[in-house]
Chains A and B, each alone.
Chain A
Amino acid sequence: MVDAEPTSRDRGQLVIIGALALAFIVLGIVVVFNGILYTEGLPSGTTSQSATTAETTDAEIEQGVGCVLVRADNESDAAESIAAFGESYEEMRSQSTAAVVTVESGPERVSVSGSESANAMVTVAYDSHDVTHETNLSVDESHCPEVGDP
């Protein structure tokens, strides 16, 4: 029985209870920490699946618009074709990625006639959950790859 005055037996019980409590705390910490690390290691899904970046988008648009310019006879034709290209491109992008891309140009920003090679200013806005950027691309005929033999 426990007396009012502490004996050596009481101190022994205190040590045992303290040791047990400490052991359970340590075990608990291990379990919690393990869980945290494991959650962190799981793949976070969409980040590894994003199919394109802003730079690729610019390259694709430069190539697409460049080849339109090679085939255009005058400014309004070229602007119309670029608009059609932009529309198809935006539609394509919206189904394949979580990013929104808009392509804009206009007759006043396209120059086809003259001795120089045709060129166009195209505004590309790229918007995704982690990147937002807007660039003005200056595109000319040299962006269209020469078509050779396969």
Chain B
Amino acid sequence: MVILLAVLFALQSVIIMPTTSGTADRTAQAQIQEETRDALGIAAREGALSETIRNWDSASDAWIDDERDDAEDEPAFYRADQPGPDESLTYETAAFANQSSLGAILESRFAAQGWNYNVELVAADGTDDGAFETTPLVYQGSAPPDAVTASYVVTLYEDEELTSPDGDEIALEDAHRDHAYPIASAGDDSPVYAVVEVRATVW
């Protein structure tokens, strides 16, 4: 009886540490989230975030040195060379840092310190059923439950063009139709092309 009670008691007791609730405690999580949000805000301020999500190229074989003959020159974000989920090409963190100011901030603050992050674009898929499509920009794996997210909504306009070196003077609508640009037009004749959420998940 006494032994049974002792065992039950020992099983019940848990040592409570700052990390009991996850790898980082809640204060640290809130701070990471705030930093991520600030990174997005700073990147958006000069319009760089909009340029980043228009950095689409029609042929990825220009920078992927693929020895296979059957390598397809599928369209991708400029200089994205990592296979992501659903067979798309995503950035590796260093390449993303070279291509965008958001990437540079995230790389120096998070990647260099051993944090992982995903960056993805969420936009309406252009159909009438109100569904949304997610496009990964950086994909480092699926996020654990204690990851934090921050997002920033960027507006794209009809008269804007792709920003990759080969994409000059290709309007977004043509890019979507001819070059598989993943963000569809909102579909009406207003100057607003689409409203895109840039979502960063850090863990």
Taking CB atoms and an 8 Å cut-off, the chain B residues in 146-203 that contact chain A are: 146, 148-155, 157, 159-160, 163, 186, 188, 190-192, 194-197, 199
Residue of B nearest to A96 (CB): B197
Total chain B interface residues with beta-carbon distance under 8 A: 54
Q: Chain A's nearest CB lies how many Å from the CB of B125?
A: 12
With A and B bound together, what is the CA distance between A60 and B163 in angstroms?
21
Is B142 among interface residues, defined by CB-CB distance under 8 A? no
In the complex the two chains form, what is the Cα distance from A81 to B155 in whole Å?
Answer: 12
Q: Is the CB of A49 within 8 A of B149?
A: yes
Contacts between chains A and B (CB distance < 8 A), count: 128
Q: Which residues of A contact B132 (CB under 8 A)?
A: 92, 95
Q: Which residue of the partner chain, among B41, B151, B192, B194, contacts A59 with CB atoms under 8 Å?
A: B41
- Measured CA separation A30–B8 after assembly (Å): 13
Alpha-carbon distance A129/B26, docked complex (angstroms): 19
| Interface bits A81-96 vs B (CB < 8 Å: 1, else 0) | 1001100110111011
CB-contact partner of B152 in A60, A88, A95, under 8 A: A60
Contact B195 A34 (CB under 8 A): no
- Is B114 close to A, CB under 8 A? no
Q: At the interface, is chain A mostly helix, strand, loop or mixed?
A: helix
With an 8 A cutoff between CB atoms, is A18 at the interface? no
Residue of A nearest to B5 (CB): A27
Mostly helix, strand, loop or mixed at chain B's interface? mixed
In Å, the complex CA distance between A56 and B13 comes to 43
Cβ < 8 Å to B, chain A residues 27-58: 27, 30-31, 34-35, 37-38, 41-43, 48-49, 51-53, 56
Q: Judge whether B55 is part of the interface by a CB distance below 8 angstroms.
A: yes
A48-B195 CB under 8 A given contacts A38-B16, A59-B41, A84-B190 = no
**Which residue of the partner chain A has the closest CB to B199?**
A51
A80 to B12, CA, bound (A): 63
Are B148 and A49 in contact, with the CB atoms below 8 A?
yes
Q: Which of A38, A42, A64, A147 sits near B195, CB closer than 8 Å?
A: A64
For the complex, what is the distance from the CA of A88 to the CA of B194, rounded to whole Å? 7
Report yes or no: B26 in contact with A48, Cβ–Cβ below 8 A. Answer: yes
Residue of B nearest to A60 (CB): B153
In the assembled complex, B130 has its CB within 8 A of some CB on chain A: yes
CB pair B148–A81 under 8 Å, yes or no, is no
Residues of A within 8 A of B123 (CB): 92
Given A38-B14, A92-B153, do A84 and B186 touch, yes or no (CB 8 Å)?
Answer: yes
> Nearest chain A CB to B99's CB is how many angstroms away?
8
Q: Report the minimum CB–CB distance from A97 to chain B (whole Å).
A: 8
Question: Can you show 12 pairs from A to B with CB atoms below 8 A apart?
Answer: A34-B12, A43-B29, A49-B149, A59-B41, A60-B153, A71-B191, A81-B190, A81-B192, A85-B192, A89-B195, A91-B130, A92-B153
Known: A34-B16, A49-B149, A85-B192. 11 other contacts (CB 8 A): A31-B13, A38-B14, A48-B26, A49-B148, A51-B150, A52-B150, A84-B188, A88-B192, A91-B195, A96-B122, A147-B160
Which 10 A-B residue pairings sit nearest by Cβ, starting from the closest? A145-B47, A84-B190, A64-B155, A88-B195, A51-B151, A60-B153, A41-B20, A71-B191, A150-B51, A41-B21
List A residues at the B interface (Cβ < 8 Å). Answer: 27, 30-31, 34-35, 37-38, 41-43, 48-49, 51-53, 56, 59-60, 63-64, 67-68, 71-72, 80-81, 84-85, 88-89, 91-93, 95-96, 145-148, 150
